[in-house]
Amino acid sequence: MSNHASPDLFLHPDFDGHENVCFVTDSASGLRAIIAIHRHGEMFAAGGIRMFPYADTQAALRDVLRLSRAMTYKLAVAGLPVGGAKSVIIGDPEVDKTVDLLTAFAGAVDRHGGSYRCGCDVGINADDLSIIRDHTAYTPPARLGDLAIPTATGVYHAIRAGVEVALGKSSLEGISVAVQGVGQVGARLCKMLAADGCRLVAADVDASRSSAVAEDSGATIISPQEILAADVDVLSPCALGSALSRDSLPDIRAKVICGAANNQLAAPDIDHALHTAGILYVPDFVANAGGVIGGLQVDCGYDENESADRVSAIYDSVHAILRLATESGTSTNVAAERFARQILDAK
């Protein structure tokens, strides 16, 4: 196994003074991965493992740099003394994921000596994490259960706040929501929204997941190609990132965008374009913090009740950031990053 740095890393447009970027390979298992630590924080750095068939190493590097930076902001807004990190494994999780590959990756995490703690993300599920946990202690304890639940719960509270501000409604009864991606988080979010009386439409590339959500929550299923343009009050991106782009923006009819996906903005200026179009965007790193709040409760020393309170407090954080955006006349993402940097600068 080898670790090496790219000579062009410091010139990369998404490099933001990252404290550690590690390129990991293992020829025996076929592992090719990047671990990026944006900030170590007061205790350590934390962030999930994503496995995806990136087109090339540069695409993987761009993703991990952006994701790890967003994790720093996410953890700051959540009030946790932990820095942001992320890992990406280059490969198709349906084809390339093996026990040997996961074991090799666990070894790379373990060699960080606890300065990096990992968890699930796209392409890496709880079963995969249990394999990784057999070879490194630096994962959330198994007893914490399904972290998709607190993630979905946090997004639910963020939607409540966004709807209050943009639509002036204190209840979600009758609000129409389009959920893009109904995997572990999206499916649970649909169930929560349905229980509050929302009218749901949903889409996923996996037809079996769509069918299950339709049966469980009563959602109307439409094609993934139609979901961004759905005539709804709220659009909730819960699949992969970069859904909000210059190409998709003209088709969006929702007044609020709030979802669980990381890096929803394909480019930084999309946030300004949404603001100009009168669409309220709830920054993803604020809305989707529930999972990491739940996953870090043991390491950070708070119990399940406090964890639940911290997840519920995402509602208050969203309100605070939306007020800041209004008062400063900036877009919501700019306001959220400013909010996070103020917290970081105060430490």
Q: Which residues pair with 234 in a beta bridge?
A: 177, 256
User: What distance in Å separates the CA atoms of residue 324 and residue 157, rounded to the nearest whole number?
Assistant: 18
Residues 6+ apart with CB under 8 A from 79: 310, 313, 343
User: What distance in Å separates the CA atoms of residue 208 and residue 227, rounded to the nearest whole number?
Assistant: 17
Strands 20-26 vs 2-4: parallel, antiparallel or unpaired: antiparallel
Dig out the tokens for 105 from the structure. 């990756």
Q: Which H/E stretch holds residue 101?
A: helix 99-110
Coil, strand, or helix at residue 209?
helix
Phi, psi of 281 (to 5 degrees): -100, 120
Q: Cβ(89)–Cβ(23) under 8 Å?
A: no
Is 191 a known active-site residue? no
Q: Cβ(203)–Cβ(227) under 8 Å?
A: yes
DSSP state, residue 22: E
User: What distance in Å separates the CA atoms of residue 38 and residue 18, rounded to the nearest whole number?
Assistant: 4
Amino acid at 137: A
- Say how many CA atoms lie within 13 Å of 218 toward its Cβ: 11
Dig out the tokens for 239 from the structure. 């699949």
User: What distance in Å separates the CA atoms of residue 243 and residue 260, rounded to the nearest whole number?
Assistant: 12
Q: Identify the active-site residue in 86, 169, 255, 347.
A: 86
Q: Cβ(192)–Cβ(151) under 8 Å?
A: no
Dig out the tokens for 329 from the structure. 């006349």
Which residues are tagged catalytic?
A: 86
